[in-house]
Structure formats: C-alpha cells, structure tokens
Amino acid sequence: MKKWVKATAVVLALMGLSMKNAYAIDTTTVNEKWGKPTVVYGGGLSEAQIQQTSQLLGIKDPNTVLTETATGQDLIKYLGSGDGNTSVMISSVMVQKTDKGTGVKVKIKTPENITLVTAEQYANAAITAGVTDAEIEVAAVSKVTGESALTGVYKAFEANGVQLDAKRTEVAQQELEVTNKIAQENANAKGFDSSKLDKAMIEIKKELAELKQKQGQLATKEDIERIINEALKNNSLQNVISQDQINALVAFAQNYQNTSAIDSKQVLEQLNSLSKSVSEKINSLVEQAKNEGWLDKIAQFFQSIFDAIKNLFSQN
C-alpha cells in the first residue's frame, strides 16, 4: 500500500511540474526608457485587499508604479461582456513595456487563486488584442476565474497612450473563453496538454495570416477547418478535441481573420516569440521529468498496478 501511495505522489508531482518564469517586473528602479510599471487593481477590492495585492505583486513603494482601477464599465468597454458590476472585479495586473522583439510574457503570481486561465492563454489573447512586447504579472487575493484580468492589461496600455482596437479586444476575449473551455473540458483526457493547445492556437493564427498574404483574400470555412485540423494533428490533439470544440475554434477563426490582426506584422512577430516560449516550456517539462527520474517512476508505478492486478487474479 505504501508503495502505491508513494507512486501516486510521484504522478501528482509530475502533473504539477511547471517551468519557472525567468523574469520579474522591477519596481525598485524607474526604467527611464519605458517609465514606471502600471498597476491596474480590480475595482472590487477593498483598501486592505489592494495593499495585499500590492504585496503579492512585489511592490515595495507605491510611488514607483502608476496606478489605475478596472471597473465593470471597463469590462464592457474592452471585452464587450459583463453587466457593469465592479464589485466582482478582483483580478489585478502589473504591466511593463519592454524592448521590441522581446514578446509578450505573462507570469501568474497567484496560481492558487487564478483558477481557470493559464499564462499562455493570457499571452495568446493579449497578442490578438494588439498587445506587443510587454511583461505582465497577474495576481488575485481570492479564488477567481481570472478571465477579467485582460481588462486590466488593456487599461494599462491605454493609460500609457496605446489605444487598442475594441473589435480585437472582443475577439481576444472570445479566444480566451474558447481555449479555456476546451482546456477545462479535456483536463482529464488522455493525451491532452494545455501547452499543446496553446501551440495549436498560435499555428492557426499564423496560418490564417500566411494564407491571406499568399492568396490576397480571407480563408474560406473549408480552409479554416483544414488549418485547424492540421494544427491539432501537428500537436497530437486530433484524437482529443471533439467536433463541437472544433466548431468553436472555427467560429473564433472566422471572427479573428475579420480583424486587423490578420494583416499585422507585429502580431506575427509576437506569435513567433510566444511559440518559441511555449515550445521551450514543453521541452523543459520533458527534460525536467527525465533529469529527475519521474518518467522511470511513472513507468514503475503503472508496472506496480499491472503486477498487483496479476497477483490478485493468481491468488484466486
């Protein structure tokens, strides 16, 4: 029994592996090129919760950051959804613009409280919306889905003079909701990995853009279905994603290619950067598993199950 408990712990540990982000936004020194980082607190936070969030984001001196508040009206403005209720706005973000070519990097500071959305899903959707070359940190003082955090990102950019296209922010929210729903529905499915889905989404958006550039016109529904199925196959998800989920991806892709993102060189640059980051994450997890002997222990775990079943029948 002890062996089984130990082996199970090994499996759970492997499932919890994650690659550490190599960056942290520095709030101790003012960046003379990009200025102060911008913090956007959820409007539903109390003063005490704002202070707690500030600590979670590693802010030692409030004078070293610009401060904004995300409201229910911002949710409607940027995402085209919600009922304008500010009290439910809990997620907060800190954003720092970075040098051209660095890409969009997202770090979730409180993964125990951001219960649905992954860092890569945030980054993918933010790129669709028009966010470029930025470091983003997300935090919440209590358990939330985290879906409204993008509102804070967009408000931070606007506070620094960058006006994002409302149509693109709405499509970005659709992307976030679709990918998140697929990830949740397949969380326990054999062969599913959210990082593979993130990579497939990047490929879909890149292929749509390249087809438009090559043909001079938008992809047909048949083109979109082919591109999606190829991306899923490239990432070993063709036998995991259901037809209903593919239909949701098709609906997103149709809306995506009708935004200015489809012709944006910046979007392609940001997607290439994110693709590299996601690939490195997948490779890092596999390498970490090998180095720490987890893969061998997983094999031993399933062998122990097989042996136990065999012994059970041999005793009867």
Exposure string (b/e) for 99-135, b if CB count within 10 Å is 16 or more?
eeeebbbbbbbbbebbebbbbbbbbbbbbbbbbbbbb
Phi, psi of 72 (to 5 degrees): -65, -30
State the Cα–Cα distance between residues 90 and 185, nearest whole angstrom.
25
Cβ atoms 112, 263 nearer than 8 A: no
Tens digit of each residue's pLDDT (9 = 90 or more) over 94-119: 999 999 999 999 999 999 999 889 99
Q: What is the DSSP letter of 32?
A: T
Largest CA distance in the chain: 76
State the Cα–Cα distance between residues 77 and 81, nearest whole angstrom.
8
Cβ atoms 202, 274 nearer than 8 A: yes
Tell me the residue ranges of DSSP E strands in the chain: 38-42, 66-70, 92-97, 104-108, 134-139
Q: What is the pLDDT of residue 8?
A: 39
Mean pLDDT of the chain: 86
Tens digit of each residue's pLDDT (9 = 90 or more) over 127-138: 999 999 999 999
Phi, psi of 218 (to 5 degrees): -70, 155
Using DSSP's 3-state secondary structure scheme, residue 261 falls into helix
Closest CA to 125 of 193, 57, 202: 202
Cβ atoms 262, 218 nearer than 8 A: yes
Q: Residue 140's pLDDT band (boundaries 50, 70, 90)?
A: very high
Q: Residue 82's pLDDT band (boundaries 50, 70, 90)?
A: confident
Give me the mean pLDDT over the 237-245 stretch.
97
Paired strand residues for 107:
137
Tens digit of each residue's pLDDT (9 = 90 or more) over 272-281: 999 988 887 7
In this predicted structure, which of 23-32, 137-146, 166-175 has the lowest mean pLDDT?
23-32
Q: Residue 313's pLDDT band (boundaries 50, 70, 90)?
A: very low
Higher pLDDT: 291 or 77? It is 77
